[in-house]
Amino acid sequence: MLDIPLHVRVHVDALIAAQNDMNDMGVCDAIERNRPVGKPAAMSAPHLPKVAGIDAAVPLPAHTAPPLAEVSAEPPPGALIQDRLAGWVSDLTTLHELTERLARTSRLDDALHELLRAGATLVGARRGMVVLEPADGLGPAVTVGLGLAHADLGHLETVPRSASSFGRLLERASGDTGAVASPDLRAAGDTDPRLLEVAARLGYAASYAVPLATGDAGRLGAAVWLYDEPAEPVERQRHLVGLYGRYATEHLARVLEVERARTRVATVAEELLPSRLPRVPGVQLAARHHAGPHGGGHWYDALPLPDAALGLAVGSVSGSGPSALAAMGRLRASLRAYAVMEGEDPVAVLSDLELLLRLTEPARTATALFGYAEPAQHKIVLAGAGHAPPLLLGERRTEFVETSLSAPLGMLACWEAPSVDVYPEPGETVLLYTDGLLRRTGEPMDRAYARLHAAAAGVPREERGDPGAIADHVLRTLLPDGPRAADGEDVVLLAARFD
């Protein structure tokens, strides 16, 4: 076998042709015929090793790859297009994920925090602030920070509006949607001294602010992100945060409208309930009411009656929204009138209320619980119409008061059910509530009752002398996420502690 170095390249076709010529014409004639014309171009090049029957001067074939040193370092045009497409897909994927997370927010505060986090990701910042000031003047005016304490936000608000980037955006016209970049606050010659002082205190050197404004939503506010070192987002980042900001503005406009509607409903509900509780000797009162987002029409009442008596009532009407609130107001006002006339007989009060509801609003039902309390005798006469039983809480007992079973008001041709007498001992508290408190737990009713009983039994001894503290403890224990949920019914709790 021939020992041929690896760097020798042989053109197979040329080799076979040369061998055939040698066989037909002889070696000398073949060599003469295949001799290259003229002087070789690479006379100074080192000679390749000679192999029997092979001429080392045979030229390289056309398809032979050139030496590695001669290969161009530039990538083919297709690779550049693929890289650009991959970058676009990555940006669109990121933008889609961030907008999906924002779309899942239903509360204004959650939406503002999500806006700050997403914007910080897009522009490469660590801290930021959003100022919500709708141009229509209907509010609310809200300031939310990312990585900034409450005191830090206060320092930023001391900077004159004309000097800060987000302040200039808030003073613009609604149609102006351009961003404001401050790549280096210290290097800029016209930076306000107060802004430099606050920036040095908070430790940031650059900012990038975008308006929260679109043609349809108008101007809602502005968002600004802060850099620890001089910097500014590149063109790609500006484009992405601009797209995200326009979507966020439209989403904030929708959430803001819902938030305003909730606020209006809660305001109407609060105005329809007692502005303050009466002072009656021998009993301490406390009430907690949290309206649901749609206004469920749950209510409570406490009114002084003749002979140093006290009327206690809780109830709810079917439906939700403004119509339910209006019905709740009418029902509560009617009950107050009946209680003044014949409050010592709770059955008669609820019978009159049922007749009124059936005649004036035949398509609506309601539940109610009314108690005629005589603090001096430590006695309460109770009557209920389809309502949850009250809870009696004391040092030696925590138990539900067994009221008579009855259908809600408006469901029977004639409502009447016997009343029950309850005798709270000194220091005991009676808790009246609506079923919205139980439904907010998300548990079946039997388990919700058990949780309410456990929450009342677990009130610390030092808090049992204050009915407000008792109500707050029950709410914290029963609803750890807070009574102001994004959805759900009203929460009503009325506590009466007998001295």
Is residue 315 included in any domain, yes or no? yes
349-355, long-range: CB < 8 A, 24+ apart: 349/383, 350/383, 350/384, 350/385, 350/409, 350/415, 350/417, 351/414, 351/415, 351/416, 353/385, 353/409, 354/385, 354/409, 354/410, 354/412, 354/414, 354/415
Q: In terms of Cα–Cα distance, which of 238, 315, 339 is closest to 490?
A: 315
Residues 328 and 212 in one domain: no
Residues 284 and 231 in one domain: no
Residues 235 and 280 in one domain: no
Residues 28 and 115 in one domain: no
- Asked whether the CA dihedral 208, 212, 213, 219 is positive or negative, the reply is negative
Residues 325 and 448 in one domain: yes
Is residue 300 included in any domain, yes or no? yes
Residues 358 and 405 in one domain: yes
Residues 32 and 105 in one domain: no
Choose the final residue of a domain: 263, 287, 305: 263
Residues 248 and 313 in one domain: no
- DSSP letters for 55-92: -TTPPPPTTSPPPGGGS--SPPHHHHHHHHHHHHHHHH
Distances (CA, A) of 102 to 21, 111, 118, 244, 380: 82, 6, 9, 10, 52
Residues 277 and 256 in one domain: no
Is residue 73 included in any domain, yes or no? no
Give the chain's domain count.
3
Q: Which domain holds residue 146?
A: 88-263
Residue found under tokens 């066989």? 23
How far apart (Å, rounded) are the C-alpha atoms in residues 16 and 59? 14
For residue 142, what are the β-bridge partners?
132
pLDDT tens-digit profile, the chain (499 residues): 334 344 434 443 443 444 444 444 443 443 344 444 444 443 344 444 444 344 444 444 444 445 544 545 666 667 778 777 777 888 889 999 999 999 999 889 999 999 999 999 999 999 999 999 998 888 899 999 999 999 999 999 999 988 998 888 888 755 556 899 999 999 988 889 999 999 999 999 999 999 999 888 888 999 999 999 999 999 999 999 999 999 999 999 999 998 888 888 778 877 888 888 999 999 999 999 987 766 678 999 999 999 999 999 999 998 887 888 888 899 999 999 999 999 899 999 998 998 888 888 888 899 999 999 999 999 999 999 888 999 999 999 999 998 777 888 888 666 677 899 999 999 999 999 999 899 888 899 999 999 999 999 999 999 999 999 999 999 999 987 766 554 567 889 999 999 9
Is residue 168 included in any domain, yes or no? yes
Q: What is the CATH number of the domain that holds 467?
A: 3.60.40.10
Residues 301 and 404 in one domain: yes
